[in-house]
Amino acid sequence: MKERAQAVLVLEDGKVFYGKAIGNEGRTAGEIVFNTAMTGYQEIFTDPSSHGQIIAMASAHIGNYGVASIDAESDVIRCAGIVVKKISEVTSRKLAESSLQELLEKSNKIGISDVDTRALVAHVRNHGSMNAIISTEQGVSVDELLEEVKKTPKMEELELANEISTKEILKFPVSTGAVKHKIALIDFGSVRNIASYLNSLGCEVIVYPMTTPLNRILEDKPDGFILSNGPGNPSKMSSSIALTKEIINANLPVMGINMGHLLIALSQELEIVKLKSGRRGANHPVLNHLTGKGEITTQNHSFVVVRESAESNNDIEITHSHLNDGTVAGIALKNKDVFSVQFHPEPSVGPHDSFYLFDQLIEKMENNKKK
């Protein structure tokens, strides 16, 4: 194991953590958040929804099972940087194609290890998500880094989805068997596993740039829509909110995931709010009000629907609630085949409690064809 350079993490409130450089050298800034998942670090770092964030992992050992293409939600690491307590430079599974260090270098990303992440997570939890900067540069003062991070735009001000949405229409055909349904996936930063899982259910998926006009999408005659996950503040996405309203009025089944969920809410004039420290992990309990059952879910979001605004809208039904804090985790439109959730129903690493939501979309598409 080679000796690694010194690195520093500076938060905008002046809190400083020292450690060792991982990945490439230089500096990177973004919103510091934490994730409590015990596994799935590659999925977390490659999730396009993580664009613009520095992710601190609560789990102590990261990188021990390497990285593999089957676990990637996109080709490269999407978050701005990573913070870990210990990084393994040795991989321990046969499926590994390379190490996390190699993926960081390939993605031109910067990270810091040997940080007291327990103290860092507690600080972010208590004081809220804020901007931070990682630097591996020698001779750069903390004061200089603090001045720079204070100038970094806040997540509340940013529309980030357009930076990572696909720039061309992509088709993901069913590999075996007949095509049962055709789904239009609007890409605000979609994870790869959404299309992959739908393919396994016999659905052809066509992925569209978020700026694609509805009339162009309808030329392909989809049976239903999925509005994907994505980064940034959905309130800054006026054109996407307008497109969402048009899609809903097209009277085809619609499913929203995370960003898609929030865009559906905003299109119906519901209010959203940014959480103090966000919800990120693979162990979040949700109550399904329609079945009365609890579900363990993977979550990765900063914004939620304001419950009072959903409860006061006669066209909205709250379908899911987060059991830890009571925040809205799912809604449905009473007069449309439209529903959405504020969690990931498709994570490859699990849990898989919420796969049924894709079956729900397929059922709505089948019923719509019979009309």
In this prediction, residue 211 has a pLDDT band, given cuts at 50, 70 and 90, of very high
**For position 177, what pLDDT does the model report?**
80
The last residue of a domain, from among 152, 185, 200: 152
pLDDT at 321 (0 to 100): 98
Same domain, 21 and 102: yes
Query: Which pLDDT belongs to residue 111?
Result: 98
- What local confidence, expressed as pLDDT, does residue 1 receive? 53
Instruction: Assign 348 a pLDDT band (cuts: 50, 70, 90).
Output: low
Q: How does pLDDT run across 106-146, given as a tens digit for each residue?
A: 999 999 999 999 999 999 999 999 999 999 999 999 999 99
Residue type, position 128, single letter: G
Return all residues near 191 (Cβ < 8 A) that are at least 6 apart.
43, 47, 48, 49, 73, 74, 228, 229, 344, 346
Mean pLDDT of 5-14: 97
Residue range 10-20: mean pLDDT, rounded = 98
Looking at the predicted structure, is the pLDDT value of residue 176 above 80?
no
pLDDT at residue number 351: 78
- The tally of domains found in the chain comes to 2
Report d(CA 271, CA 224) in Å as an integer: 26
169 domain-assigned: yes
Which residue is listed with tokens 């790869």? 192
CB-based contacts of 159, cutoff 8 Å, min separation 6: 232, 233, 236, 237
Is the pLDDT score of 204 beyond 60? yes
What is the domain-level CATH number for residue 59? 3.50.30.20
Domain termination residue (choose one: 109, 134, 152): 152
In this predicted structure, the answer to whether residue 51 has a pLDDT above a threshold of 90 is: yes
The verdict on 124 and 175 lying in the same domain is no
User: What pLDDT shows up at residue 206?
Assistant: 97
- Residue finishing a domain among 118, 152, 186: 152
Question: For 200, phi and psi rounded to 5 degrees?
Answer: -70, -20
Tokens standing for residue 47: 């999730």
In this predicted structure, the answer to whether residue 279 has a pLDDT above a threshold of 90 is: yes
Residue 299 structural domain: 161-370
pLDDT at residue 349 tops 70? no
Give the mean pLDDT of the chain. Answer: 95
Report the pLDDT value the prediction gives residue 3, as an integer from 0 to 100: 81
User: Do 84 and 181 lie in a common domain?
Assistant: no
Q: Is residue 266 part of a domain?
A: yes
Quote the pLDDT of residue 129.
95
pLDDT-based confidence at residue 79 (cuts at 50, 70, 90): very high
Alpha carbon 333 to its chain centroid, in Å, reads 23
Shared domain for 219 and 357, answered yes or no, is: yes
Q: Does some domain include residue 47?
A: yes
Residues with Cβ within 8 Å of 200's Cβ and at least 6 positions away in sequence, in order, are none
Per-residue pLDDT tens digits for 60-69 = 999 999 999 9
Q: Is residue 1 part of a domain?
A: no
Give the count of beta carbons closer than 10 Å to the beta carbon of residue 18.
13
Read off the CATH number of the domain in which 220 is found.
Answer: 3.40.50.880
Q: Would you place residue 370 in the very low, low, confident or very high pLDDT band (cuts 50, 70, 90)?
A: confident
- In the prediction, which pLDDT does 175 show? 78
Percentage with pLDDT > 90 across the chain: 90
> Is 174 in the same domain as 295?
yes
Q: What is the pLDDT of residues 288-330, one digit of tens each?
A: 999 999 999 999 999 999 999 999 999 999 999 999 999 999 9
Looking at the structure, tell me whether residues 22 and 50 fall in a common domain. Answer: yes
